[in-house]
A and B are shown apart, each in its own frame.
Chain A
Amino acid sequence: MSSNAPNKSVLVVGAGIAGIQASLDLAELGADVHLIEETPSIGGRMPQLDKTFPTNDCSLCILAPKMSECARHPGITLHPCSSLTSISGEPGNFVCEITEQAKYVDPEKCVACGLCEQKCPTKVVDEFDMHLRKRKAIYRYFLQSIPSNYVIDAEHCLYLTKGACRLCEKICEAHAINFEDKDKVISLNCGAVVLSSGIDPHDPIVHAQYGYKRFKNVVTSLEFERMLSASGPLMGHVTVPSNGKEPKRIAFIQCVGSRDVENKNDYCSSVCCMYAIKQAIIAKEHIKGLEPTIFFMDIRAFGKDFDKYYERAESQYGVKFVRSKVARISESNGGTLRLRFSQENGKRKEEDFDMAILSIGLEPRKKMEKFADCLDIKLDEYGFARTSLFEPLNTTKDGIFVCGAMSGPKDIPESVMSASGAVAECTKFLALERQEKVSKKEFPPEKDVIGDRPRVGVFICHCGINIAGVVDVPQAVDFAKNLPNVEHTEDLLYACSQDCLDTIKEKIKEHNLNRVVVASCTPRTHEPLFRETLREAGLNQYLFEMANIRDQCSWAHMNEPELATEKAKDLIQMAIAKARNLVPLKRLPIDINPKALVIGGGLAGMTAALVVARAGYEVHLVEKDSELGGNLKDIYSTLEGDDPQKLLQETIKEVKENNSITVYTNAKIEEIAGYIGNFKTKVKTGNKKSEIEHGIVVVATGAKEYETKEYLYGKNKRVVTQLEFEKLLHTEKIKEYKPRSIVMIQCVNSREEERLYCSRVCCGAAVKNSLKLKEIYPSADIYVLYRDVRTYGLKEKYFGTARDKGIVFIRYDLEHKPQVEPMDKDNPDSKLLIKTMDPILDAQVVIEADLLVLSVSIDALQENKELAKLLKVPLNADGFFLEAHVKLRPVDFATDGIFVCGLAHGPKYIEESMVQAKAAASRALTILSKKTIEAEGTICWVNPDKCSGCGVCVEICAYSAIELNEEGIAEINEALCKGCGACTASCRSGAIDLRGFTDDQIFEAVNAVEI
């Protein structure tokens, strides 16, 4: 097996969202990916989740397309039920031994019909459903599992344990059961390894005071998630376990197994606050009149748009938040739970609840030590994979990288970013070349349907109860059945799951369908998936149409099932009407210019530029300032003790020395024209203007500290910002203040109406700089006035250190902001008096301060607006760039070929910016590494017989894609046309039409509705 030839294989261990993302990116780069997964299906934790915060996107819905894509990608080989047992060799040439457990079912033969499951006599608690349901010994991991085949649980199978039964074998018509199956050991030669085996949920049995397992009505958050899930054991209808009734009052207890020194889990799990809020909101949507209460220490809503979600939970949904650690839970008659807790002011209180949900934390996998041993990687103090601050994706062993929560708690987008980032790190060990072909995947030849009578297949999705809970799906099926040209109608539980996609393919063949309509969710996320399914069935992908009966129907009309059903029927009928008029379309290949433009020469921009340059592509790095470095220039230390200035200098040096990178300083982008693969940008540097041709864009323009006017800032020199303070600390200047008493105020201009977002780094900065000051002046009194301490993740322990060192943290409310006044009203730079309400003392405290440090919000750049316009990409309400999808596409824009990273995307720490920068670069490489990609098929065309050459279209086209030819007839450049249809709508004689949105199709859709 082993050879020294350049290797393009890579092993990804663990097929959660991080593993899936890493595999997809690697495969797009041209690598041969082996994705191994212990369980029988890829997906990881996400399929267990009902919804995701802060958009309440259905978790499975957003994941399913990625799972399918992963399964379908020709560059990815899936190894379910497998684990990595050893690694030997060198980076670039590892030999990985993988043990693949016997499944006793031949995945090639199994059609997942489920008959075996019905016959199997052995019931086993289902670990996917968190033991809330029983499965059989032969089972499918979950309904939408990929691969879809069944497996036999050897530990419980009667035949395999006791030697008798084999009922499954008898019933299986596909002859897929193979009791002779054995565990296999596979040896793979790989250039690099990506570890993404995730976390285990904390087991709350250790917290005896909460009575988990003793009290039926105490459940973990993961169990509750399954209860909420439409595809879970309760079909989304949450009931009190002890009596089966709808709960009225539920309590969420935060930090179970997190921030817990006693249990040696003195880190924050980062995600529990948000998921508890999410669960409270979703539960409230499910159950009318539900009263959820969240018992918490700090609400850590530090991510993008999280605070708005938190605010909505409280104001709109009436979720009650109680700042308290619950002391104990007792069970009274009938299973009602009594929670004892002390309020902030120390007073004790008891309240009764129907259910208590323990927000359990994220823990390293149980087998981590053993696993680390066989891989020869080191773990940190908690047992997560050890990384260093500035190399957060590198394990202690060269060539082995880590992503996802395996190296510490992360939410979904952070996992996705770390996965893409890890891919960037892998590339140097893989021998990848620029790819010639548009698509590696082979599809069957397209069936010619031109001239055939439309034969429409209609598939109506239940989406669990997401649709079927509101819309009468059987009625819609009956309705669609009788419409003209409809040859087949069927309802599907989850249309996007692999088994249903297979069903669609089968039906296309069986009924010779030549148009397909799926009524389910939104085409914005799912159209590509279904289109690919059509391709796999030998149909042109444009013979597909969706009816959005979930996002724009069942979810929006939850209380009006009849009218929602009427609407759904109309939408389906409109889709069918359009489908009848669909025609096959072709996609034009687009050449990719293998150069990158990176906008912003801060740490994120430089990091992204280096990744791209190291992969062998030319980079143009544009910086508005006179020198590189951005905000990092003002950061002198980190909580963890690493030196950011050293990082900065090294990075700048490498950028400058890299021949593939051209740096433009004092530069301004004046114009960006073109599209993916073929951008043309005009840059002005001083008086010089240059034009850059490039294939992709990375936006890394950064952000800045807000120029606050609060708390006498700018009026008294003793009031400084956290950044200014950091500078003072690292120069001699701090001495001028003789700091004996220092006050820090957190959340200045953050988390308020105008900037309803958390600036994420300020709590850490306050802790960091407090500790630094304590180093210099051990006797100084430091008071941090905060709203919530958000030292999330592994930074939590420094918060503990700070408290241990006597730094005083006093909470304040937005309603009672601290009051700052000069001690001497006549001296503008006099010492300051800070008054604040101490909620623990329940009294006002007055602090004399030599120095007041303001943790001012991180503010989006005004220039973003201009750049967003040039790039035609959106900003969020706060002025930060808005990514394509907050969960699963955190560095992409909706517009192809443009990526975002660093503070331009939102506030974040140095290491987070670096990860995101690497992720953006890695996503960019998936494009740069191809010589051509395909354009959309939905572009405009001119019927020359109808054109009178008036030239309106020429004027209107924003892409200069139309010209009048010698005969004065309009002609469209298909490579330039973006398919907006402005010309189509403006052509008086109807000579231009937009493929995919033709006049005919719009006409038929309008006409289809009965009034």
Chain B
Amino acid sequence: MDIFKIEKSKLKQFLDDLSKKYSVFVPAKQDRVTSFKEITLNSQLSTLNSYNTDKPPKDIFFPQTETLFTYDENSQLSTLNSQLSKPIAIFGVRPCDAKSFTLLDKVFDSEKYTDTYWKERYKDALVFALGCNNPLSTCFCNWVGGGPFNKEGADISLIDIGEAFLAEPCSKKGEEVIHKLSLQKATEDDLKKGNQLKNEAESMLSKPVEISSLKEDLDALWNSPKWEEIARKCLNCAACTYLCPTCHCFDIQDEGKSSKGKRIRIWDSCMFKLFTQEAAGTNPRPTGKERMRQRIMHKFNYLVETIGEFGCVGCGRCIISCPVNLDVREVIKEIKKVRN
């Protein structure tokens, strides 16, 4: 397969061209927070040079608030037209996040169940994944089968080689698109540089903990008192889950009054007490212990069962964002330790 090259000096032009056919999302910094935003005339692209965004890109396909339908006095229910004017392109998404799309897609668009809202946005989306030359100390993609230059979930994989990005199509869609983009092909030197960066980056990551048996470990530990200890300092906020690229739990809410209103779908979190609160007053997950267990079980056990993969891409956002520095890697280590 051919590998192409996008000169950084022509990046702006490249993205402008791209945005003629696509709604292009790039990493952007706004008020100290980095996240993916649709490109505008004033978009600064400098955030591409920095490490991964604070907020994951999942909200591009699975927004925090999704209006399912609206109603008013005079008319019947009206579902919003979910048809996009242009397909979505994401430029500069990191390999871990690119992989998260594939996990979410398995959840939202499976044989059993299709979520039209997700599907409408994701099915034609073009993902430009940018390899991580400088993984952070919190990155642990290599624990869960990923890597700083992985291509899973990407249509076109990018490597930042300084003056330019190497662009390698890695899906049929990517292949089709890249040929239309009139890009220069990469030289041998470029490719060599790319390879070198990849090796360097991979070596920067800490040695992964072996977690192939984690599902089984968890199965055995469901009733362990260890959960209480693990959960003790947890504040039960949703920083970890809302900033997780793969967490996808949601709540349905009706907002408005009898005359007009809407039904919305909003993110929810298993870390909240309310998440499992029943109308009659009982709560099957009454304390932090059960909620913490749920989060870990869902990611490393239940999803393995349902989609065959861990629900974690090792981006490390939950580690950075946790107000009490409750590190999921430590949790995994603790579990392994108890099992051994």
Shortest Cβ distance from residue B255 to the other chain A in the assembled complex, whole angstroms: 11
Chain B contacts with A in 179-221, Cβ cutoff 8 A:
none
Q: Do A1008 and B257 touch across chains, with their CB atoms under 8 A apart?
A: yes
Q: Do B257 and A945 touch across chains, with their CB atoms under 8 A apart?
A: no
Shortest Cβ distance from residue A577 to the other chain B in the assembled complex, whole angstroms: 8
Q: Quick check: is B30 within 8 A (CB to CB) of the other chain?
A: no
Chain A residues contacting B257 (CB-CB under 8 Å) are 1007-1008
Chain B contacts with A in 251-282, Cβ cutoff 8 A:
257-259, 281
Shortest Cβ distance from residue B225 to the other chain A in the assembled complex, whole angstroms: 26
Shortest Cβ distance from residue B281 to the other chain A in the assembled complex, whole angstroms: 6
Shortest Cβ distance from residue A622 to the other chain B in the assembled complex, whole angstroms: 52
The contact string, 1 if C-beta is below 8 Å from chain A, for chain B 267-311, is 000000000000001000000000000000000000000000000
Q: Do A1010 and B281 touch across chains, with their CB atoms under 8 A apart?
A: no
The prevalent SS among residues of A at the interface is loop
Q: Quick check: is A484 within 8 A (CB to CB) of the other chain?
A: yes
Cα distance A1010–B256 in the bound complex, in angstroms: 11
Cα distance A305–B257 in the bound complex, in angstroms: 47
Shortest Cβ distance from residue A1010 to the other chain B in the assembled complex, whole angstroms: 6
Chain A residues contacting B259 (CB-CB under 8 Å) are 1010
Chain A residue, CB-CB nearest to B257? A1007
Chain B residues contacting A483 (CB-CB under 8 Å) are 258
Q: Do A945 and B281 touch across chains, with their CB atoms under 8 A apart?
A: yes
The contact string, 1 if C-beta is below 8 Å from chain A, for chain B 81-107, is 000000000000000000000000000
Chain A contacts with B in 994-1011, Cβ cutoff 8 A:
1007-1008, 1010
Cα distance A484–B257 in the bound complex, in angstroms: 11
Chain B residues contacting A484 (CB-CB under 8 Å) are 258
Chain B residues contacting A1007 (CB-CB under 8 Å) are 257
Cα distance A402–B259 in the bound complex, in angstroms: 60
Cα distance A93–B273 in the bound complex, in angstroms: 75
Shortest Cβ distance from residue A518 to the other chain B in the assembled complex, whole angstroms: 21
Cα distance A56–B52 in the bound complex, in angstroms: 75
Chain A residue, CB-CB nearest to B256? A1007
Interface residues on A, range: under 10
Interface residues on B, range: under 10
Chain A residue, CB-CB nearest to B73? A482
Chain B residue, CB-CB nearest to A943? B281
Shortest Cβ distance from residue B72 to the other chain A in the assembled complex, whole angstroms: 11
Cα distance A483–B257 in the bound complex, in angstroms: 12
Cα distance A484–B259 in the bound complex, in angstroms: 9
Shortest Cβ distance from residue A977 to the other chain B in the assembled complex, whole angstroms: 24
Chain A contacts with B in 477-496, Cβ cutoff 8 A:
483-484
Cα distance A372–B281 in the bound complex, in angstroms: 74
Shortest Cβ distance from residue B242 to the other chain A in the assembled complex, whole angstroms: 24
Chain B residues contacting A1010 (CB-CB under 8 Å) are 259
Chain B residues contacting A1008 (CB-CB under 8 Å) are 257
Shortest Cβ distance from residue B318 to the other chain A in the assembled complex, whole angstroms: 29
Chain B residue, CB-CB nearest to A946? B281
Cα distance A1010–B72 in the bound complex, in angstroms: 12
Chain A residue, CB-CB nearest to B258? A484
Cα distance A291–B258 in the bound complex, in angstroms: 51
Cα distance A483–B258 in the bound complex, in angstroms: 9
Chain A residues contacting B258 (CB-CB under 8 Å) are 483-484
Cα distance A1010–B74 in the bound complex, in angstroms: 14
Chain B residue, CB-CB nearest to A483? B258
Cα distance A36–B259 in the bound complex, in angstroms: 54
Chain B residues contacting A945 (CB-CB under 8 Å) are 281
Cα distance A945–B286 in the bound complex, in angstroms: 12
Chain A residues contacting B281 (CB-CB under 8 Å) are 945
Shortest Cβ distance from residue B282 to the other chain A in the assembled complex, whole angstroms: 10
Shortest Cβ distance from residue B38 to the other chain A in the assembled complex, whole angstroms: 32
Cα distance A484–B261 in the bound complex, in angstroms: 15
Cα distance A694–B115 in the bound complex, in angstroms: 71
Cα distance A484–B258 in the bound complex, in angstroms: 8
Cα distance A1010–B281 in the bound complex, in angstroms: 33
Cα distance A945–B257 in the bound complex, in angstroms: 28
Shortest Cβ distance from residue A396 to the other chain B in the assembled complex, whole angstroms: 68
Chain A contacts with B in 924-977, Cβ cutoff 8 A:
945
Shortest Cβ distance from residue A92 to the other chain B in the assembled complex, whole angstroms: 63
The contact string, 1 if C-beta is below 8 Å from chain A, for chain B 225-268, is 00000000000000000000000000000000111000000000
Shortest Cβ distance from residue B118 to the other chain A in the assembled complex, whole angstroms: 32
Shortest Cβ distance from residue A620 to the other chain B in the assembled complex, whole angstroms: 50
Shortest Cβ distance from residue B78 to the other chain A in the assembled complex, whole angstroms: 19
Shortest Cβ distance from residue A948 to the other chain B in the assembled complex, whole angstroms: 13
- Chain A CB within 10 Å — which of B258, B259, B281 has the most? B258
Chain A residue, CB-CB nearest to B260? A1010
Cα distance A483–B73 in the bound complex, in angstroms: 10
Chain B residue, CB-CB nearest to A1008? B257
Shortest Cβ distance from residue B256 to the other chain A in the assembled complex, whole angstroms: 9
Cα distance A484–B73 in the bound complex, in angstroms: 11
Shortest Cβ distance from residue A965 to the other chain B in the assembled complex, whole angstroms: 19
Cα distance A1010–B257 in the bound complex, in angstroms: 9
Cα distance A38–B257 in the bound complex, in angstroms: 56
Cα distance A945–B281 in the bound complex, in angstroms: 8
Shortest Cβ distance from residue A183 to the other chain B in the assembled complex, whole angstroms: 59
Cα distance A1007–B255 in the bound complex, in angstroms: 11
Cα distance A16–B57 in the bound complex, in angstroms: 81
Shortest Cβ distance from residue B287 to the other chain A in the assembled complex, whole angstroms: 15
Cα distance A1007–B257 in the bound complex, in angstroms: 7
Chain A residue, CB-CB nearest to B259? A1010
Chain B residue, CB-CB nearest to A945? B281
Shortest Cβ distance from residue A1000 to the other chain B in the assembled complex, whole angstroms: 14
Shortest Cβ distance from residue B156 to the other chain A in the assembled complex, whole angstroms: 49
Shortest Cβ distance from residue B259 to the other chain A in the assembled complex, whole angstroms: 6
Cα distance A1008–B260 in the bound complex, in angstroms: 11
The contact string, 1 if C-beta is below 8 Å from chain A, for chain B 43-75, is 000000000000000000000000000000000
Cα distance A1008–B259 in the bound complex, in angstroms: 9
Cα distance A483–B259 in the bound complex, in angstroms: 9
Cα distance A539–B228 in the bound complex, in angstroms: 52
Cα distance A483–B281 in the bound complex, in angstroms: 32
Shortest Cβ distance from residue A597 to the other chain B in the assembled complex, whole angstroms: 47
Shortest Cβ distance from residue A362 to the other chain B in the assembled complex, whole angstroms: 56
Cα distance A1007–B260 in the bound complex, in angstroms: 11
Chain A residue, CB-CB nearest to B281? A945
Shortest Cβ distance from residue B262 to the other chain A in the assembled complex, whole angstroms: 14
Shortest Cβ distance from residue B235 to the other chain A in the assembled complex, whole angstroms: 17
Shortest Cβ distance from residue A573 to the other chain B in the assembled complex, whole angstroms: 10
Cα distance A1008–B281 in the bound complex, in angstroms: 28
Cα distance A484–B281 in the bound complex, in angstroms: 28
Cα distance A382–B281 in the bound complex, in angstroms: 77
Cα distance A945–B278 in the bound complex, in angstroms: 13
Cα distance A13–B4 in the bound complex, in angstroms: 111
Shortest Cβ distance from residue A327 to the other chain B in the assembled complex, whole angstroms: 67
Shortest Cβ distance from residue B270 to the other chain A in the assembled complex, whole angstroms: 21
Shortest Cβ distance from residue A478 to the other chain B in the assembled complex, whole angstroms: 14
The contact string, 1 if C-beta is below 8 Å from chain B, for chain A 658-687, is 000000000000000000000000000000
Shortest Cβ distance from residue B20 to the other chain A in the assembled complex, whole angstroms: 42
Cα distance A1007–B261 in the bound complex, in angstroms: 12
Cα distance A1008–B258 in the bound complex, in angstroms: 8
Cα distance A1007–B259 in the bound complex, in angstroms: 10
Cα distance A1008–B256 in the bound complex, in angstroms: 10
Cα distance A203–B257 in the bound complex, in angstroms: 62
Shortest Cβ distance from residue A590 to the other chain B in the assembled complex, whole angstroms: 32
Chain B residue, CB-CB nearest to A485? B258
Shortest Cβ distance from residue A572 to the other chain B in the assembled complex, whole angstroms: 14
Cα distance A945–B259 in the bound complex, in angstroms: 33
Cα distance A869–B114 in the bound complex, in angstroms: 69
Shortest Cβ distance from residue B135 to the other chain A in the assembled complex, whole angstroms: 44
Cα distance A945–B280 in the bound complex, in angstroms: 11
Shortest Cβ distance from residue A1009 to the other chain B in the assembled complex, whole angstroms: 9
Cα distance A1010–B258 in the bound complex, in angstroms: 10
Chain A residues at the B interface, C-beta cutoff of 8 Å: 483-484, 945, 1007-1008, 1010
- A–B pairs, 6, beta carbons within 8 Å: A483-B258, A484-B258, A945-B281, A1007-B257, A1008-B257, A1010-B259
The 6 closest A-B pairs by CB, nearest first: A484-B258, A1007-B257, A945-B281, A1010-B259, A1008-B257, A483-B258
